């Protein structure tokens, strides 16, 4: 499930940091598009899984020759990279987990080269607020969400770090009701009939991409999109 719109965020031939890479969904897409990707995360098990999948993709000929991959474990508040190390940075669904988000944003700014591009995604305010209202366990867990952003707040923090804020959009409106259902019946209750049925629909949609669901989600995204996506540039001077 790709949240970033790569038509707005070209990565071919660029050195890219996937900050908080998780299960690698954006790492894989960036590699397919010819980027040299560093997947960075605290979770070494996730990094091992991403590295294994990347090797399988290369063995199957899914990656261009120019695409390179490296997995680096570490802390987003103190990244082991020199200043101006990357042409592109993706930070997808990470800052809502970090108590000191402004420090992590400053680190992202530091490692991006002048003139480089970044993209940040966080949960949208309305869908996230409903999840918090429906379930305490949704967010009050170790490593869970520690804040709910408005887009205005997020963009203000990004500007304060020095970024020039560009376009934005919302994504994954069809996923919002799925999380509301999970919060209503219990976040671990994946066997509930409604949750299970809705999950099957989402998997079908991701695999098949039918026109009816794509058009429906596009229409609903501005209001119900589960994520808000903000595109950024680091000034050249």
Angle between helices 125-134 and 175-185 (to 10 degrees): 10
Quote the pTM value.
0.95
User: Which residues, other chains included, contact 140 with Cβ-Cβ below 8 Å and sequence gap of 6+?
Assistant: none
Strand 227-233 to strand 112-123: parallel, antiparallel, or no bridges (unpaired)?
antiparallel
Distances (CA, A) of 37 to 31, 88, 105: 7, 9, 19
The fraction of the chain above a pLDDT of 90, given in percent, is: 96
Q: Which domains does the chain show, CATH number per domain?
A: 15-173+225-233 (3.40.50.150)
User: Which residues, other chains included, contact 60 with Cβ-Cβ below 8 Å and sequence gap of 6+?
Assistant: none
Q: Residue 117 pairs with which residues in a beta bridge? A: 88, 233
Residues 6-58 have pLDDT tens digits of 999 999 999 999 999 999 999 999 999 999 999 999 999 999 999 999 999 99
- pLDDT for the residue numbered 3: 97
Please say if the pLDDT value at position 1 is more than 90: no
Smallest CA-to-CA distance from 52 within 37, 71, 36, 68 is with 71
122 neighbors 96 (Cβ within 8 angstroms): yes
């Amino acid at each position: 499930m790709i949240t970033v719109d790569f038509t707005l965020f070209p990565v071919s031939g660029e050195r890219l940091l996937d900050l908080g890479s998780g299960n690698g969904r954006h790492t894989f897409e960036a590699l397919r598009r010819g980027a040299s990707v560093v997947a960075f995360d605290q979770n070494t098990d996730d990094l091992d899984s991403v590295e294994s999948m990347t090797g399988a993709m290369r063995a199957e000929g899914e990656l261009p020759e120019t695409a390179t991959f490296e997995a680096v474990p570490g802390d987003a508040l103190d990244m082991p990279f020199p200043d101006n190390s990357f042409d592109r940075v993706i930070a997808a669904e990470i800052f809502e987990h970090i108590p000191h988000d402004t420090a992590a944003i400053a680190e992202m700014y530091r490692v991006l080269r002048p003139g480089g591009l970044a993209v940040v995604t966080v949960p949208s305010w309305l869908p996230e607020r409903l999840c918090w209202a429906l379930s305490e366990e949704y967010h009050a867990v170790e490593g869970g969400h520690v804040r709910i952003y408005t887009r205005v707040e997020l963009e203000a923090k990004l500007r304060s770090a020095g970024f020039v804020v560009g376009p934005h959009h919302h994504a994954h409106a069809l996923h919002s009701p799925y999380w509301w259902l999970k919060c209503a019946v219990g976040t671990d209750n994946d066997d509930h009939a409604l949750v299970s049925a809705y999950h099957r629909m989402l998997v079908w949609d991701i695999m098949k991409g039918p026109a009816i669901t794509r058009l429906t989600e596009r229409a609903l995204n501005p209001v119900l999109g589960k994520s808000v996506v903000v595109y950024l540039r680091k000034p050249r001077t």
